[in-house]
């Protein structure tokens, strides 16, 4: 991400939570009476709408960001036990970097705050279509609330921005499921606002990143080192 100045979008069906963007988040059992006029049976409508919701999931790519940089759990889960980095982005400048042809439906990704719920409150799938799309894209279980996630959501991104990850490129597969393919947008250096180094980040690696970023990415970026709080189970950041 730092070396290539880009932001990765992952298919909604490929995330680490099987409930993410799932069509069963919506209730399609209450078919409106006007749809039942004629020969089309109720069961057909339910299956059609659930299938449309499944297709929406399979055709949506998103980028998961967070509002916080000091979560002990996220440093452990996503940063190799505090050995990695947390990259701070200026979201307004990120949106300005989105190319005009990135999406086939929307010009820019939707920016959605994830809503965390303790139970699946399934809304009626036949009401307020745009609101339902947002509900499907931004509803997660309460257990994930510590992430304070913000999502950039792009239905049907343009295939010209599709690419394999470096790890995928090493595989010799002849065909790929289109849902396994990621999409990328190029970011201007000014989009990168800060970099936070984990408690266990190797010092030589840290210095290498600092030198590269100042020279190749953004000379005005802020660097921080995470430290253990002496008085609480908390992380603190110290500017470098």
In terms of DSSP H, where are the helices of 19-114?
42-58, 72-78, 91-97
Give the pLDDT confidence score for residue 130 in this predicted structure.
66
Q: Which tokens sit at 162?
A: 């599709």
Using DSSP, state whether 101 is helix, strand or coil.
coil
Predicted confidence pLDDT, tens digits, the chain (240 residues): 999 999 999 999 999 999 999 999 999 998 988 888 777 888 999 999 999 999 999 999 999 999 999 999 999 999 999 999 999 999 999 999 999 889 988 888 999 999 999 877 788 888 866 677 889 999 999 999 999 999 999 999 999 999 999 889 998 888 899 999 999 999 999 999 999 999 999 999 999 999 999 999 999 999 999 999 999 999 999 999
Give the pLDDT confidence score for residue 127 in this predicted structure.
82
* Phi-psi category of residue 231: left, alpha or beta, with phi > 0 → left and psi -120 to 50 → alpha: alpha
Give the count of beta carbons closer than 10 Å to the beta carbon of residue 18. Answer: 7
Give the count of beta carbons closer than 10 Å to the beta carbon of residue 234. Answer: 11
Rounded to 5 degrees, what angle do the CA atoms 157, 50, 118 make? 90
In the chain, count of helices (H) and strands (E)? 6, 12
Give the pLDDT confidence score for residue 129 in this predicted structure.
67
Q: Which of 141, 137, 166 is nearest to 152 (CA)?
A: 137
CA end-to-end distance (rounded Å), the chain = 21
Give the pLDDT confidence score for residue 121 in this predicted structure.
76
Give the pLDDT confidence score for residue 173 in this predicted structure.
86
Give the pLDDT confidence score for residue 150 in this predicted structure.
97
Task: Name 49's Cβ contacts closer than 8 Å, sequence gap at least 6.
Answer: 28, 125, 126
- Give the predicted TM-score (pTM) of the model: 0.92
């Amino acid at each position: 991400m730092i070396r290539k100045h880009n932001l990765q979008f992952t298919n909604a069906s490929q995330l680490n939570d099987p409930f993410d963007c799932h069509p069963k988040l919506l209730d399609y059992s209450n078919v409106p009476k006007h749809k039942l006029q004629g020969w089309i049976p109720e069961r057909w409508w339910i299956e059609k709408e659930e299938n449309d919701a499944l297709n929406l999931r399979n055709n949506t790519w998103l980028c998961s960001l967070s509002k916080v940089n000091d979560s002990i759990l996220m440093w452990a889960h996503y940063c190799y036990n505090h050995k990695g980095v947390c990259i701070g982005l200026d979201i307004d400048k990120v949106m300005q970097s989105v190319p005009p042809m990135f999406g086939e439906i929307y010009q820019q990704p939707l920016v959605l705050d994830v809503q965390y719920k303790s139970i699946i409150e399934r809304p009626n799938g036949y009401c307020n279509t745009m609101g339902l799309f947002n509900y499907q894209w931004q509803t997660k279980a309460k257990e994930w609330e510590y992430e304070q996630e913000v999502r950039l959501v792009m239905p049907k991104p343009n295939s010209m921005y599709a690419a394999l990850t470096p790890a995928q490129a090493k595989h010799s597969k002849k065909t790929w499921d289109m849902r396994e393919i990621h999409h990328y947008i190029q970011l201007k250096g000014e989009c990168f606002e800060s970099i936070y180094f984990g408690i266990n980040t190797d010092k030589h690696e840290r210095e290498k990143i600092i030198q590269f970023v100042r020279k190749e990415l953004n000379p005005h970026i802020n660097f921080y080192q995470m430290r253990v709080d002496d008085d609480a189970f908390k992380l603190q950041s110290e500017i470098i």
